[in-house]
Structure 1
Amino acid sequence: MDQQQTSPNVDDEGYERGLKNRQISMMAIGGAIGVGLFLGAGAAIEASGPALIASYALAGVVIFLIMRALGELLVYRPVSRSFADYAEEFLGRFAAFATGWVYWLMWVVTAMAEITAAGIYVQYWFPSIPQWVTAAVVLGLLFLANLISVKVFGEFEFWFSMIKVVTIVGAILLGLAVILFGFGPAGDTASFAHLWDHGGFFAGGVDGALLALQSVMFAYLGVELIGLTAGEARDPQKVLPKAINNVVVRIAVFYVGALVVLLSLVPWTEFREGESPFVKAFDVIGIHGAAGIIQFVVLTAALSSCNSGIYSTGRMLRTLAVQRSAPKAFTKLSSRKVPAASIYASAAVMALGILINAVVPEKAFTYVTSVATVGVLWTWGVILVCQLRYRRKADAGELPKSGFRMPGAPWTGYFGLAFLALVVVLLGFSEDTRIALYVTPVVGVLIGVGYLVVRKRQAALETAPR
């Protein structure tokens, strides 16, 4: 009998169930904490004021609904093919084709930005090392880690996430001590009153809070990655619902809680674009070398994102190949049960990011993240629509009911879709993010043409004499 059918450590897709519960739980925490919070929040605070807290909270509610929708699907049928597989089952072949390639492209361009960011961050300590050298080394090391086994990927991601979590929790606890008990040099000035004393809570206007939603949603990019771990988790029916339910707590603590403390330590009027709000807060608390600490954490966040990008693109490209939407060679697994060929191809495309950043270094990160945001909005929208279709069939008795049902469905699903549509519209109000709306139709045409080519090739194979 085939080994893949008998071994309890190998699932029916051929993957090894090597991800431990602690790794998936920490990945679920770390997946919601990226460079956007540590570095990018400064610009958002300057534009929106304290209302940015409301933006993160509202977006966090929608993210929780999306994750619960994904959770219901995962408990119904836990597969690593995740989004693309559910899209094929509930929306058809074209939706699966488009979702798979959009998600693959999203993580490829995100990883392009992150490897270049890593090169910039390392220059803080070693300015003589060329940026492209660090980018190449980072991509190479994480590429090898993903090739070795899923266990190595999980361990890397566990410690990357741990560093981010410890930093934020430490900042929150220290900040609260200063605000509540007057410790340190900022003890006399820190106050929760900073949230409304400098022009009011909506000092940047309601429009400022709405326009911040684009950067806020990008900051949450990666939370859906837990869906791709379903085929490699040791106990998916148990660990995935628990990790998903904790999303709301993570968002409340790591985003809303952190911003409340930061903006209470320092008035929002003192934050500037390009300056980490955590560096500013640590300076106020009196921690010398704060810039170096945050620089290291931001580097860790970039490495984490790139690591996740290599993992997810490898799995998604294999999914596309299994669905006959990519070359058959990408279906193969290595002896270590990882999609080596797909990882090779994805990493090769990611390496083009070095060239892109050499051509447009000032705007590359903004352009890339805007395009990635559209990609993740599509993915999240597909998850919601699939859950709506699944629930309708399950309630009609056509499919087994999931033991982890999305609360408030179908109305919560409709609300989530309307919110995602609003964010797409808001992308058009900023010159820097508008590029995503120009690129999206081009990508759509390419995907449409690609689908027609694949369909024609499949039809030819099916009618060819044997």
Structure 2
Amino acid sequence: MTSVQVENHNAGDAAGHGTDEGYERGLGSRQVQMIAIGGAIGVGLFLKAGANIEKAGPSLILMYAAAGVIVFFIMRALGELLLYRPVSGSFVEYAREFLGPVFGFVTGWTYWLNWVVTGMAELTAAAIYMHYWFPDVPQWVTALVFMVLLYGLNLISVKLFGELEFWFSMIKVTALLGMIIIGIGVITFGFSAAGDTASVSNLWAFDGFFPNGIGSSLMTLQGVMFAFLAVELVGVTAGESKDPEKTLPKAINTLPWRIALFYVGALTVILCVVKWTEFTDGVSPFVAAFAKIGIPAGAAIVNFVVLTAALSSCNSGMYSTGRMLRDLAANNEAPKAVGKLSARRLPTIGITLSVAFMAIGVVLNYVVPEKAFTYVTSVATAAGIWTWLMIVISHIRYRHAVAAGRLPASPFPAPGGTIGSWIAVVFLLGVTVMIGLDPDGRISLYVGFVWAIALGIGWSVLKSRVPQLGERGQADAKR
């Protein structure tokens, strides 16, 4: 262990948590890399991009590129913190250390809420996709079956979780690469039914690159940011990675090319193959492009890929919520029972409680199947923005502590110091304003307001029962 690692280890112990928190370090480099890749490819790209293309046209490519730069700033900030002190609590633990226990409390429970509602959304999406093959099966039945199946798999071992995410991500990556290669072939050689109209000029030939104006393009940023939710999950794996000092920097540093290839590259190819005016809300642009090209069983293949993307996200939600609850319990911010590990060294009770709340999604699929997806996805974006803000603000505070000589420097510093984090703060606050201006997205702010009140009450009750939380807050504030 190097001198820097010894200092970081001691810093972790001083804060109350070492790098080994009782978890099995069962995630290898291959699995962490694929979890990182899969976190950057989700249903937001496969399904939601259709509605955003309808609003922004080809300029959506630029929105994804801009958001990708911000996400990279966020992940490099998180990476610097992770190598300073790798813990499973990840950004929640850093918010607690650098901003005070109340921020750790709010961030932990908000991230838990984020993944619970995302799990509901993905179960709903998976049930909708299954209608392609089984149109007569009720939506709630399929959602229930998938929930029970993934719950059972999450209780076996972290290694199995890693393997599931590896193969889920492999399917998404392979499918996207195949789509890009086929699309480039259509543009270059003009084969298939889409060959006659496929052209790079489709990016500007129909009312320009910003067909509906820059304002309409900027309003899609909230949907674009939703597509990037879960990219921070690689930070939660820190406590169960075999060699976080090597695997985490590698996973984070490959993020730019993943965004460039799978988001910017894929959308550019799709919009060159099919003009943007042919895409509509509710239809996956990839399904539409494959239908235009005329590939046999193309729609079924894409539907299967999107199904795996939904199941992957729900699987990740079950994994992360259990870890978040354990971190909260370890800091007296949740019942001690949810922090206990099973004989397999898994937070079984925390996972079970989270899945019980995810079951609300099954109920919604029974009561209002046509509205279930819309009701729950709006909350996830606002919760995700809060999480990202906590990461970059914690990074800024950490850098201040390093500059003052109070903490050791991380072996994985973010390029440009805190500049990227400050840019991310401004960008995320701007996206929040856009959410407030959008009638469809505004509901997430209403829910967020109610959630903030609930957390405020919860914190007041908690602090009255555990007075040392306030004392620790004063100590943390000195950082």
Report the TM-score when normalising by structure 1.
0.95
2: distance between equivalents of 1:33 and 1:372?
A: 16
Query: Given the alignment, which residue of 265, 272, 283 partners 1:257?
Result: 265
For residue 32 of structure 1, report the CA deviation from its aligned partner. 0.9
| Unaligned stretches of 5+ residues in structure 2 | 1-17, 471-479
Q: Structure 1, residues 40-99: CA drift from partner, whole Å, max 9, x if none?
A: 111110111001001100000000000000000001000001111101110001000000
Aligned position for 2:6: none
- Following superposition, the deviation at residue 461 of structure 1 comes to 11
Q: Return the match for 1:458 from 466, 470, 474.
A: 466
Match of 2:105 in 1: 97
1:285 shift after superposition: 2.3
What is the match of residue 122 of structure 1? Answer: 130
Counterpart of 2:85? Answer: 77
Q: Specify the alignment match of 1:408 in structure 2.
A: 416
Alignment match of 2:31 (pick from 4, 9, 23):
23
Secondary structure of the residue aligned to 1:260 is helix
2:140 and 2:365 in contact (8 A); partners too: no
| Partner of residue 7, structure 1 | none
Match of 1:162 among 161, 167, 170: 170
**Which residue number in structure 1 is paired with residue 22 of structure 2?**
14
Match in the other structure for 2:326 = 318
Once residues 391 and 312 of structure 2 are traced to their aligned partners in structure 1, the CA distance between those partners, rounded to angstroms, is 24
Offset, 1:11: 5.8
Q: Counterparts of 1:18 and 1:209 in 2: how far apart (Å)?
A: 43
Cα distance, 1:339–1:173 mapped onto 2, change above 3 Å:
same
**Which amino acid counterpart does residue 199 of structure 1 have in structure 2?**
D
Q: What is the aligned partner in structure 1 of residue 198 from structure 2? A: 190
Note the C-alpha offset of 1:124: 1.3
* C-alpha separation in 2, matches of 1:461 and 1:228: 23
CA contact (8 A) 2:114 2:384 kept: yes
39-48 vs 403-412, greater mean Cα deviation: 403-412
Deviations 1:320-345 (A, max 9, x none): 10010000111210111110110111
Task: Give the Å deviation of 1:366.
Answer: 2.3
Deviation at 1:367, TM superposition (A): 2.9
Give the structure 1 partner of residue 44 of structure 2: 36
**Equivalent pair of 2:155/2:346 in contact (CA under 8 Å):** yes
CA separation of 1:162/1:412 partners in 2, compared to 1, >3 Å: closer, same or farther?
A: same
For 1:202, which of 203, 210, 219 is the aligned residue? 210
Q: Which amino acid is the alignment partner of residue 168 of structure 1?
A: L
CA deviations 1:3-53 (Å, max 9, x no partner) are xxxxxxx96200010001111101101111111111111111011100100
Q: Is the 8 A contact 2:19 2:85 kept in 1?
A: no
Query: What residue identity is the alignment partner of 2:379?
Result: V
Distance verdict in 2 for CA 1:178–1:460, change over 3 Å? closer
Given the alignment of the two structures, is residue 391 of structure 1 paired with residue 389 of structure 2, yes or no?
no
Unaligned runs of 5+ in 1: 1-9
What is the RMSD computed on CA atoms of the aligned residues? 1.7
Letter in 1 for 2:21: E
CA distance in 2, matches of 1:432, 1:329: 38
Alpha-carbon separation, structure 1, partners of 2:469 and 2:372: 42
Contact 1:115 1:303 in 2 (8 A): yes
Contact 1:11 1:232 in 2 (8 A): no
Cα distance in structure 2, aligned partners of 1:92 and 1:325: 13
Residue 11 of structure 2 is matched in structure 1 by none
Q: Name the counterpart of 1:445.
A: 453
Q: Distance in 1 between matches of 2:19 and 2:343?
A: 15
CA contact (8 A) 2:463 2:469 kept: no
For the pair 1:309 / 2:317, whether they are aligned, the reply is yes
Please, which of 376, 383, 397 is the counterpart of residue 384 of structure 2? Answer: 376
Decide which of 197, 219, 224 is 1:216's aligned counterpart: 224
Q: Name the aligned partner's letter for residue 69 of structure 2.
A: V
Q: 8 Å contact 2:185–2:191 — kept in the other structure?
A: yes
Query: What are the superposed Cα offsets for residues 265-290 of structure 1, whole Å, 9 maximum, x if unpaired?
Result: 00101111111111111122220222
Q: Which amino acid aligns with 1:322?
A: A
Q: Which moved more, 1:277-286 or 1:344-353?
A: 277-286
Instruction: Check the 8 A contact 1:15/1:337 in 2, yes or no.
Output: yes
**Pair 1:426 & 2:472 matched:** no
Question: Alpha-carbon deviations, 1:358-398, whole Å to 9, x = none?
Answer: 33433332232111100010000000000001111112221
CA distance in structure 2 between the partners assigned to 1:42 and 1:288 by the alignment: 22
1:223 is paired with a residue of what secondary structure?
coil
**Structure 1: 4+ residue segments shifted above 6 A:** none
Q: Which residue of 2 aligns with 1:227?
A: 235
1:246-299, Cα deviation, whole Å (9 max, x unpaired):
111100000000010000000101111111111111122220222211111111
1:279 aligns with 2:269: no
SS at match of 2:467: helix
Look up the equivalent residue of 2:437 and give its one-letter code.
F
What is the 5 A alignment of 1:320-359?
A: 320-359=328-367
Give aligned-pair identity as a percent. 60
Picking from 297, 311, 317, the partner of 1:289 is 297
Give a deviation string over 1:199-245, Cα, whole Å, max 9, x none: 00011210111000011000000000000000100110001001001
- Cα gap change, 1:250/1:384 in structure 2, threshold over 3 Å: closer, same or farther? same
In structure 2, what is the Cα distance between the partners aligned to 1:11 and 1:252? Answer: 33
Query: Distance between the aligned counterparts of 1:370 and 1:217, measured in 2?
Result: 12
Other-structure match for 2:60: 52
Please say which of residues 246-255 and 359-368 is displaced more in the overlay: 359-368
Cα distance in 1 for partners of 2:43, 2:402 equals: 39
CA shift for structure 1 position 404: 0.9
Specify the code of the residue in structure 1 equivalent to 2:212. G
SS at match of 1:148: coil
1:106 to 114, 118, 134: 114
8 Å Cα contact 1:66-1:383 kept in structure 2: yes
- Count of residues paired in the alignment: 455
- Of 364-373 and 256-265, deviating more is 364-373
